[in-house]
Amino acid sequence: MVKADQVKRLREKTGVGMMSCKEALREAGGDLDKAVDILRKKGEAKAITQSGRTAKEGLVASYIHLGGKIGVLLEMSCETDFAAKSEDFKGLVKDICMHIAASNPLYAKREDVPNEVIAKEKEIFTAQVKGKPEKAVEKIITGKLEKFYKDVCLLEQPFVKNPDTTVKDLMVASVSKIGENIFIRRFTRYQVGEEI
């Protein structure tokens, strides 16, 4: 029996989709290192081997949506100019820009969320679960925090064109396809009339 926390750890380590991680863990008898090897052999965990390489090339792209009411600027990095000019990379950049316009993420990844924001959210969640059994409180707060990350972190959001996959899954698949380390360096989203 594969446990959810094992799947989560393997997913964080490899960046591979949940179902692939679950299958690899089942095949490896629950051994995390063996599961990583299985994913690498299948080519799904290629992102691991790429992650140590420097990504100094890439593109800055813009996207304007809804008749000029929403605009996005995105800097996405890759390792070579060749990859940056490829149709696969350009298509990925365009898709990420459209996703940012539609989903309005505040941060690229959960590590970018400031500690004070997390502390404030935990304070709010704690107030919401007041009176619940003590054993359940921590689990509820952890669950609410995970949902918060999925709402505000670009890589954890369901991809707008295919909600069955996350933006991170899309990125990992693109790393395997393009064969280079790819990451989102920074982005900004503007909306007419929003408070500054």
Percent of the chain residues topping a pLDDT of 90: 45
Rama region for 99: left / alpha / beta (φ>0; ψ in -120 to 50; rest): alpha
Whether residue 48 has pLDDT greater than 70: no
Q: Are the beta carbons of 89 and 59 closer than 8 angstroms?
A: yes
DSSP H or E segment with residue 154? none
Taking only the tens place, the pLDDT of each residue in 89-121 is 999 999 999 999 999 999 999 999 999 999 999
Token pair listed for 191: 């909306």
**0.75 cut: is pTM over it?**
no
CA distances from 38 to 8, 15, 56, 170 (A): 16, 14, 30, 20
Taking only the tens place, the pLDDT of each residue in 176-192 is 888 888 889 999 999 99
Taking only the tens place, the pLDDT of each residue in 50-98 is 555 566 789 999 999 878 999 999 999 998 889 999 999 999 999 999 9
Q: How far apart are CA 10 and CA 30, in angstroms?
A: 10
Q: Which residue has the higher pLDDT, 177 or 195?
A: 177
Residue type for position 165: T
Instruction: Please compute, for residue 158, the number of CA atoms within 13 A of its CA located in the half-sphere on the CB side.
Output: 6
- For each of the domains in the chain, give its residue range(s) and CATH number, in order of start: 4-50 (1.10.8.10), 57-103+161-191 (3.30.479.20), 114-151 (no CATH)
DSSP H or E segment with residue 190? strand 183-191
Q: Which residue has the higher pLDDT, 10 or 45?
A: 10
Mean pLDDT, the chain, integer: 86
Q: What is the DSSP letter of 185?
A: E
For the beta carbon of residue 108, count every other beta carbon within 10 angstroms: 19
Q: How far apart are CA 12 and CA 30, in angstroms?
A: 16
CA distances from 146 to 9, 118, 119, 160 (A): 14, 11, 14, 19
